[in-house]
Amino acid sequence: MFGFYKKDINADHTDLMDSMAQAMNSAGNMRLDQHIDTVSGWGLGRVSLGILNAVDQPVKSTGGECLVVFHGELYNRNGELSDPEFVLQQYLERE
């Protein structure tokens, strides 16, 4: 997983994210997911095999107010949601 926060909002940080992703994907066969929020000046990404959690990430809440990047696997859980969607749902439903 990788990311950045820059105070110079509204700047194009695509090259920065691409260079971080490529540095982590030296073999060139990994899945790359990334999100850049130009309004607040941050970006999140992940490099993975794409076997576990093959859904596009970050996963966004319905309203778009919350994002999650998830790397790993949840055990002993059944359901229709992917693991990252489940984690996001549990976060949003917390008390």
Segment-wise mean pLDDT, segments of 10 residues, the chain, 95 residues = 79 85 84 83 83 77 86 82 90 85
pLDDT at 80: 87
d(CA 59, CA 12): 22
pLDDT at 91: 93
pTM for the whole thing?
Answer: 0.66
pLDDT at 78: 78
Strand ranges for 1-95 from DSSP E: 2-5, 31-37, 42-48, 59-60, 67-68
Give the amino acid at 7.
K
Q: Which token pair is 66?
A: 């919350």
d(CA 58, CA 19): 18
CA 60, 50, 83, 13: dihedral to nearest 10 degrees? -30
pLDDT at 53: 63
